[in-house]
Structure 1
Amino acid sequence: MASLQEQLLKAGLADEKKAKAIRQEKRKKRKQQPKGAADVNESQARAQQARQEKAERDRQLNLERQKEADKKAILAQIRQLVETNRLDRSKGEEPYQFVHDKKIKKLLVEPIMADQLSRGRLAIVHVNDHYEVVAEAVARKIMERDETAIVVLHEKTQQNEPEEDDPYAGYEIPDDLMW
């Protein structure tokens, strides 16, 4: 089959001088460009893209590792706060019940601790699969780091201040009243 150039020459649409000049121009271009230059440029582009993708994957992996390290550091801080500030429950006789993970849990605490837990002066913290009782200030510090570690922390209430229009303001509730 004849090339397009030969067909144009036979049809009289191109002349021999122009065809020769075009062939020489093509030959010069081929000789100026080294062999495999197109392949080298393409492989360099692929290698550059692979380096960029690897750098992005490494960056993502480093971020995940950093997040894990931060999480472990926060957990260690919480453990240390609980270990140094937990209250002794060894003499606990009264059961204090609370809800954690949709289950009712029970701790044996002293009656004073139960009262302070209900008033918001003490809190229950869940660390290392154990429940510990800590002071409210320590619980607030733990809450700054991880809110999920605090299981029970009631808001403080002002029970001693009667309301202005309370009809029973003049009647004191006895301390030994049992319901």
Structure 2
Amino acid sequence: MAKANPLQEQLLKAGLVKKSKVAEVAHAQNKARQGKGPATPNEIQLDAERARAEKAERDRALSAERKAQARNAELRAQARQIIEDRKVPRAGESEYRFTADGAIRTVLVNDDLRKKLSAGALVIVRLDERFELLPRAAAEKVRERDASMIVLDHGQEPGSEPAATTSEDDAYYAQFKVPDDLVW
């Protein structure tokens, strides 16, 4: 038999317990120590683990959102830099009108710039509160980074137009000739 603890020895000497009872209790205690498996988690531990998992998920989502915002800010800054570097100097006294944000806006251009805008070789982009002219290649780079900066682009693919006209409409409007020098 293993060495009993001092309290058990005192109880045996006093005759208050039998040797068989002490051995039985020691055996039960030993068995209880050996047979212990992982403790079942209680309700508080489960709640704490659930809260940790939810917090980790919120932190991941918040981190992803911050990264997306940082990426958008970086792309916007790149687009601004492209506009600043590649803008076409405006010259002329002729007004070129276009719509932006539901209002009619005006930029001053010469005849050469007007032809390039109409042909789609130049694009109008917004930079803060002003509008700039960009060559098509630079405008495509801006569109890749932030398409909302493009205000007017006559050179877009035909499939990207908002509404395609029907041949019936074309036939009707063909009877009204528009002069080539019309400026609105």
Shorter-chain-normalised TM-score: which range? 0.5 to 0.7
- Aligned partner of 1:71 in structure 2 is 72
- Structure 1 letter corresponding to 2:129: D
3-state DSSP of counterpart to 2:155:
coil
State the alpha-carbon separation in 1 of the partners of residues 84 and 181 from structure 2: 35
1:125–1:149: 8 Å Cα contact kept in structure 2? Answer: yes
Distance 1:108 1:118 in 2: 14
CA RMSD after TM alignment: 2.5
For residues 178 and 61 of structure 1, the distance between their equivalents in structure 2, rounded to whole angstroms, comes to: 56
Q: Residues 44 and 66 of structure 1: is their aligned pair in 2 closer, same or farther, counting only changes over 3 Å?
A: same
Separation of aligned partners in 1, 2:130 and 2:82: 14
Name the TM-score, length of structure 2 as normaliser.
0.62
User: 1:53, 1:178 → 2: CA distance?
Assistant: 66
Residue 5 of structure 1 corresponds to which residue in structure 2?
A: none
How far did residue 142 of structure 1 move? 1.0
Tell me the number of residue pairs that the alignment of Structure 1 and Structure 2 aligns: 126
Q: 3-state SS of the aligned residue for 1:123?
A: strand
Which segments of structure 1 move beyond 2 Å, counting only runs of 4 or more? none
Unaligned runs of 5+ in 1: 1-27, 158-176
| Distance across 1 between alignment mates of 2:146 and 2:124 | 14
Deviation of 1:115 (Å): 1.1
User: What residue is the counterpart of 1:86 in the other structure?
Assistant: 87
Sort the Cα spacing of 1:81 and 1:154 in 2 relative to 1 into closer, same or farther, 3 A. same
Task: Assess, with a 3 A threshold, how the Cα gap between structure 1 residues 47 and 60 changes in structure 2: closer, same or farther.
Answer: same
Normalised by the length of structure 1, the TM-score is: 0.63
User: How is 1:116-127 mapped onto 2 (pairs within 5 angstroms)?
Assistant: 116-127=116-127
Offset at residue 155 of structure 1 (A): 2.0
Specify the SS of the correspondent of 1:88.
coil
SS at match of 2:88: coil
Q: Do residues 144 (structure 1) and 144 (structure 2) align?
A: yes
